[in-house]
């Protein structure tokens, strides 16, 4: 019988992933415990499910046949790849922030883009680091994260109600807050931003993010010479807003929350 050792991360974004090793006998236990120890040191705030069981074959499929609990697990055989996948899963991204915002108050997709930008600037001002890796582009109506637009444009001008006071969404946010050390800081900044701009509507959000010398306005102004003013290409939807402009907004309290 072959001995299977599996460490499972119930990832929120990637689904369940498992670091799997198979040995000819139980002697592999000591080696696998070394991996488990390293994992605990690297992710000291997290728990990984550990399983050991015998089957007549070396494959993870044999484990799935033995116990349906293991169905749906993405197998990763390289330990470093497993660790890097977990690290990636623990990064805050724009979808995390969008879910937190929409769980507290429904917005249109246009409003959501502006609120996320304001949250990003406030987080940068308070903690002097980027909230997430995604970058903003300067579109006609303000800063936009393109991949969020693609996933939310179907709502058009309607409020996005899917996540508002939704039990499953609340559980996902709670799960993320237990895994990501600074997640509570993100929630705090979201709460402050919603409180300050709670009564602002679509057009007013546009005015706020188009403020003179703000990141959006400076980006458009600096690129003005590349486009004819009244042409359809004046807002080509692919002008990246330089991080230094957003940093300048944060440093000058341009969207300051008191």
First to last CA, the chain: 65
pLDDT digits 0-9 by tens, 121-163: 999 999 999 999 999 999 989 999 999 999 999 999 999 999 9
Tell me the CA distances in angstroms from 13 to 56, 218, 249, one per residue in order. Answer: 32, 35, 31
Looking at residue 216, its pLDDT comes to 94
Q: Which helix (H) or strand (E) holds 176?
A: helix 167-179
> How far is the C-alpha of 245 from the C-alpha of 213, rounded, in Å?
9
- Residue 114 · residue 108 · CB < 8 Å: no
Looking at residue 257, its pLDDT comes to 44
Residue that is written with structure tokens 């299977």 in the block: 4
Task: Assign 178 to helix, strand or coil.
Answer: helix
> How far is the C-alpha of 47 from the C-alpha of 232, rounded, in Å?
53
Looking at residue 236, its pLDDT comes to 59
Supply 127's token pair.
């903690």
Q: Find how far residue 105's CA is from the centre of its chain.
A: 19
- What pTM, to 2 d.p., does this model score? 0.84
Looking at residue 15, its pLDDT comes to 81
> How far is the C-alpha of 155 from the C-alpha of 14, rounded, in Å?
25
Looking at residue 258, its pLDDT comes to 43
Residues of the chain with pLDDT under 70: 12, 224-237, 255-258
pLDDT digits 0-9 by tens, 13-35: 778 999 999 999 888 899 999 99
What length does the chain have?
258
């Amino acid at each position: 019988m072959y001995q299977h050792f599996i460490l499972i991360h119930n990832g929120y974004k990637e689904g369940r992933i498992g670091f799997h090793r198979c040995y000819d006998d139980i002697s592999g236990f000591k080696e696998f415990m070394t991996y488990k120890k390293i994992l605990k040191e690297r992710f000291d705030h997290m728990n990984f499910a550990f399983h050991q069981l015998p089957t007549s074959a070396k494959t993870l499929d044999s484990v799935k046949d033995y116990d349906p609990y293991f169905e749906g697990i993405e197998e990763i055989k390289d330990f470093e790849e497993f660790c890097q996948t977990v690290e990636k899963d623990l990064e805050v991204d724009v979808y995390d922030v969008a879910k937190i915002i929409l769980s507290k108050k429904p917005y249109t997709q246009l409003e959501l883009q502006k609120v996320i930008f304001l949250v990003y600037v406030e987080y940068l001002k308070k903690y002097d680091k980027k909230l997430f890796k995604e970058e903003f582009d300067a579109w006609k109506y303000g800063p936009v994260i393109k991949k969020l637009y693609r996933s939310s444009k179907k709502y058009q001008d309607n409020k996005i109600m899917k996540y508002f006071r939704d039990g499953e969404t609340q559980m996902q946010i709670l799960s993320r807050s237990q895994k990501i050390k600074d997640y509570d800081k993100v929630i705090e900044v979201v709460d402050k931003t919603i409180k300050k701009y709670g009564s602002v509507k679509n057009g007013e959000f546009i005015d706020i993010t188009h403020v003179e010398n703000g990141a959006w306005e400076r980006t458009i102004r600096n690129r003005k010479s590349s486009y004819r003013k009244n042409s359809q290409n004046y807002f080509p939807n692919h002008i990246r807003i330089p991080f230094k402009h957003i940093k300048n907004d944060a440093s000058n309290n341009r969207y300051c929350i008191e």
